[in-house]
Amino acid sequence: MRAWRYILGTLVLLAVVAAGLYLARLPVAGFAGRATMSAAGLENPKARVRGLSLEKITLTELAAGPEGHEAFRFDAVEARYQWRKLLFERRVDAITVGPGEARLDVAPDGTVTLPGIEQKSGGGGGVGALPFDRFTARDIRLVVDAPRGSATGALNADYDAASGGGVSLQLQAQSAGSEAVTVEGAALRLELALSADGLMKLSGGFSGDVISEFGPLRDVDLTFEGEGPFGRDLADGTKAPFTAAGAIRLRSARVTLAELPSLATLTQEQRDAIFGAPSLSMEAGLDVALTDAGLSITIADAPLVMRAGDAGQEGRAELIVAAEDGAPLFERSDDGARLGFSVAVKGAGLSMAATVDAQTNADGWSLYLPLQVGDYLSDTLSLGHASAVIRADIAPERINAEITTTTNLRSATIGRLLIEDAPLTTNLVIDADLAAKRAVITVPGENCIALARAKFTLEQQDTDAALEGLKLCGGDGALVDLNWSGAPQSVFAGTLTADVIHYRIGETHVEGRPPEIHFNGVYQPADNQTTMTGTFDGGGFMLNEMLRFTDARGRFDFALDEQTMRSSSVLDRVRITQNEEAPRIAPVIAAGKMALDGDMVRFSYALRTPRGASLGTGEGGHNVTTASGASTFHFDEIVFAKGGVQPAKLAPVLKGLIGETTGAASGSAAFSWAPTGVASSAKFAFRDVTFGGPTRVVNKTIGLNGALEFKNLWPVATDGAQTITVGGIDLDALQLEGGEVRFDMPGDETLRIERAVFPWFGGELGVVDAVASLSGGEATAPLRADNIDLAKVLDYIDADGLSGEGLLSGVLPLVVEDGKARIENGILQSQGPGAIRYRGETAAQAAEAGDQSQIAFDLLRDLRYDELKVVINGPLDGRLKFNLTFTGTGEVGVNQQQVRVPVIYRISLDAALLELLNQAVLTQDVELLIERAQQSEE
């Protein structure tokens, strides 16, 4: 408006000068006119006086401003006047301008100027009232040059101070604006109706796209209208009390969510989950009242409405901003300002209500914003009732706010991740110093950000997780400290705890209380980089309800940027025990390191006994993308020695089964896991291992050597049949040496003995094709004796005068129960004929006892049997019962001749086998044999 007043004032001044030089005629008048415009601050003025009289002046080619970028250029200008009024009052009757062109420059700060024109105080532009009674502009092309593009249009005006008039303006722009706001494909229409009493009525409209730093607002269509005394001071130069009113109606506008910078980090799926559609449309109606006392903005009968999706889409979500109890949306007066309205969201499964109440105080604004969210359901998000309360004091250089929220997340799908049943509460205090460019976020008092529980499931992977009682606390300092005085950065620190965590991958289960985590870090948004360090301590959880991990202690670091994520940790210690009342494996202490390299987590670890004895080391890796990994553990060579490391100390389950041990053992174990499950294998080697047992059945196992391979550890399964050698087994009565055992464990809680054979008295004694349960209870092992040489047995007994020959075979069913072994219905039988001879001193002594005794011992001098059968029953560590039957022939003296006669001996013995075989106290038993033989014959 000031620019146009300046142009009109200059035109009147030209008329005054030209009229004063009337006698000089046209050339001198033209020269004087140009000089006058130059003196008024117009650069490069141009004008031709085509007609001049005491009633009017006609100018052509009137222009001013830089060449090619003139402020105005009119083909014709005519001013009609009364020469006395013109000279003494500097006022004309009418001015007519056009056709022509006018240009305005808009600076980056919004200042509007005429190019090449310096507006001077006291000049034509400084007049109070307009210096004419009537003004007419026809076919004026208007150009508005902005920092980004230009707008062009047409201006027409006709105003009479006595009867009023109007102004019509139309502008179009393909692209124009500033760094803050740009319009594209825009059209502006403006109509001004000026009344004779100085009132103005305005109406118009705008259509196009509006682009700002907040994002583009597409397809804007709005209209506006208003009225006020804006023309009175132009008409007569008076100053009246200011009162104006207007209305703005936004009929339509559209926001595409993908174009908003604030949502750039979200995926399309996430934006749809939040807003329910890829775009938003809006409409609004505002009534504005402006007076000298203040400003009032009221939501009209068409409230501000924002809708998700396209116009034809059913069930669209709506956001509605309305006045609170009919009060103004915004009002400002000498007493201060107030902003108040309600916000409601409904549709597409969502209901939300909030009120905004803000008013000025001594330092700035106070804000109170309570919010309630009802149930919400979409394809990717389900919320129960949620609420939030925001209280804030906002000053020009400081903001203090407290935010409290309660959210009941029922389910959320983010990519392949499903989160369910996650109620969250927060209480945060924000203190922002805008002058220092710093903001501090704290958790007040003992309050913490609390997640009562949550469940996590990953699609296409056999894995899930859940947690309970998660808390994020800020401790004594700030939870987050933001600083943007230099390069922006956020410093954060806190403590993270949880009561219970559940995790499952395939058949692997982890459950318990995780360690308490203390962390601190820095986020640098310019580099999009986050670094964090921390420690963890305590906790206790179980693996597959088998192993318990407790008292973990260690430290970690973490780094994340646009390209990579890196992390490493050091486990100082964790105690690992079996989750059983009577653990089979003794507790061990683990320590190790971990590093994240791309998608792979690399780790290494060491195990030791609680007393510090090293057990071995391991290493492995885990792919965080595929949730799969592997680890190998290498056992150190463990040397067993008296007073040192013993198997029963490493595995309490062996206590009472395996006694004092010497020798050495080593090996390795491999583990792998994937979403489909867990696999394991192991290799063990034994070198000259000698130990008491196993169990009370065996006194000692001597010189165990060999290697074992297992293809699975849960359940235990060997990689086919395995073979070990045993130097000797001391079974009290049975002394076995130099044996070989071949067995396999198929993974069904059984031990299958394919062959366990020991040399014994020229033949073999062992077990073949036997199955024993590993779960405990009674077990039966059929000891098979093959081709036992009777001569070697009698040589081993070493009884004076006792000898024989023959082969024995049979089966001795060995039943093991409660750590003791017994033979049930064992049978040894002769393999073909044999002989037994006894010619000791006892035989001579027995001959003196009578004829019957002499006959019995005569037969034993050379008893040749066709069949020998022994039935054995009883415990190996107690007294055995032997039932022996000899069928054959023997020699007796008849009439001074030796005659061979048939013989059947049936003998029952009840004796300790160890005593029988090792001490060979046979005298009384042989006499008993003879006595029982005589009784049987009778």
Sign of dihedral through CA atoms 868, 871, 876, 877?
negative
Residue 6: per-residue pLDDT: 52
Task: Say how many C-beta atoms besides its own lie within 10 A of residue 830's C-beta.
Answer: 22
Residue 846: per-residue pLDDT: 59
For 514, the enclosing helix (H) or strand (E) is none
Name the band, by pLDDT with cuts 50, 70 and 90, for residue 930: very low
| Contacts (Cβ under 8 Å, ≥6 apart) of 102 | 7, 71, 72, 140, 141, 142, 143, 155
SS3 content of the chain, % helix, strand, coil (to 5): 15, 60, 25
Rounded Cα distance between 42 and 33, Å, is 11
Q: How much is the average pLDDT of 187-215?
A: 89
Label the pairing between strands 779-789 and 304-308: unpaired
Residue type, 166: G
Q: Please, which residues bridge with residue 908 across strands?
A: 883
Q: Which of 679, 673, 675, 568 is nearest to 629 (CA)?
A: 673
| Contacts (Cβ under 8 Å, ≥6 apart) of 192 | 166, 167, 168, 169, 200, 201, 202
Residue 733: per-residue pLDDT: 61
Can you give 848-915 as a three-state secondary structure string? CCCHHHHHHHHHHHCEEEEEEEEEEEEECCCEEEEEEEEEEEEEEEECCEEEEEEEEEEEEEEEEHHH
> Is pLDDT at 835 greater than 80 in this prediction?
yes
What is the DSSP secondary-structure string of 787-848? EEEHHHHHHHHT-TTEEEE-EEEEEEEEEEETTEEEEEEEEEEESS-EEEEE-SHHHHHHHT
Rounded Cα distance between 449 and 443, Å, is 8
Which of 90-94, 203-207, 565-569 is most confident? Answer: 203-207
Cis link prior to 99 (omega < 30° from 0)?
Answer: yes
Residue 626: per-residue pLDDT: 78
Rounded Cα distance between 464 and 503, Å, is 6
**By the 8 A CB rule, do 343 and 320 touch?**
yes
Q: How much is the average pLDDT of 176-199?
A: 89
> Is pLDDT at 30 greater than 70 in this prediction?
no
- Give me 409's structure tokens: 């997340």
Q: How much is the average pLDDT of 734-744?
A: 84
pLDDT digits 0-9 by tens, 210-227? 998 888 999 999 998 988
Least confident window among 5-14, 387-396, 812-821: 5-14
Residue 712: per-residue pLDDT: 87
> Is pLDDT at 25 greater than 80 in this prediction?
no
Cα 913 to the chain's mean position, in Å?
70
Task: Say how many C-beta atoms besides its own lie within 10 A of residue 68's C-beta.
Answer: 5
Residue 369: per-residue pLDDT: 92
Sign of dihedral through CA atoms 681, 686, 692, 693?
positive
**By the 8 A CB rule, do 536 and 566 touch?**
no
Orientation angle between helical segments 923-937 and 851-861, nearest 10 degrees: 110
Residue 533: per-residue pLDDT: 94
Residue 349: per-residue pLDDT: 66
Residue 498: per-residue pLDDT: 92
Name the band, by pLDDT with cuts 50, 70 and 90, for residue 246: confident
Rounded Cα distance between 269 and 743, Å, is 58
First to last CA, the chain: 154
Q: How much is the average pLDDT of 690-712?
A: 83
> Is pLDDT at 208 greater than 90 in this prediction?
yes
pLDDT digits 0-9 by tens, 643-670? 888 887 877 766 766 788 999 999 998 9
Q: Phi, psi at residue 698, to the nearest 5°?
A: -110, 130
Residue 310: per-residue pLDDT: 66
Residue 230: per-residue pLDDT: 60
- Residue bearing the bigger pLDDT, 700 or 935: 700
> Is pLDDT at 26 greater than 60 in this prediction?
no
Which value, in Å, is the radius of gyration of the alpha carbons in the chain? Answer: 55
- Residue bearing the bigger pLDDT, 87 or 231: 87
Q: Is 538 helix (H, G, I), strand (E, B) or coil?
A: strand
pLDDT digits 0-9 by tens, 343-385? 888 766 677 889 989 998 888 889 999 999 888 777 777 888 8
Name the band, by pLDDT with cuts 50, 70 and 90, for residue 431: very high
Q: How much is the average pLDDT of 822-843?
A: 85
Residue 843: per-residue pLDDT: 58
Task: Return mean pLDDT, the chain.
Answer: 80
Q: Is 779 helix (H, G, I), strand (E, B) or coil?
A: strand
> Is pLDDT at 239 greater than 90 in this prediction?
no
- Give me 255's structure tokens: 């926001």
Q: How much is the average pLDDT of 829-844?
A: 81
Can you give 705-725 as a three-state secondary structure string? EEEEEEEEECCEEECCCEEEE
- Give me 373's structure tokens: 């969210």
> Is pLDDT at 4 greater than 70 in this prediction?
no
Q: Please, which residues bridge with residue 41 across strands?
A: none
> Is pLDDT at 922 greater than 50 in this prediction?
no
> Is pLDDT at 895 greater than 80 in this prediction?
no
pLDDT digits 0-9 by tens, 469-503? 988 888 677 888 988 888 888 898 989 899 999 98
Sign of dihedral through CA atoms 769, 774, 779, 781?
positive
Q: Which of 883, 889, 787, 785 is nearest to 832 (CA)?
A: 787
Q: How much is the average pLDDT of 157-186?
A: 90
Q: How much is the average pLDDT of 159-188?
A: 91
Residue with tokens 């090293």: 614
> Is pLDDT at 688 greater than 90 in this prediction?
yes
Name the band, by pLDDT with cuts 50, 70 and 90, for residue 152: very high
Q: How much is the average pLDDT of 586-613?
A: 86
> Is pLDDT at 448 greater than 80 in this prediction?
yes
| Contacts (Cβ under 8 Å, ≥6 apart) of 429 | 400, 401, 402, 403, 441, 442, 443, 444
Rounded Cα distance between 349 and 379, Å, is 10
Rounded Cα distance between 874 and 814, Å, is 10
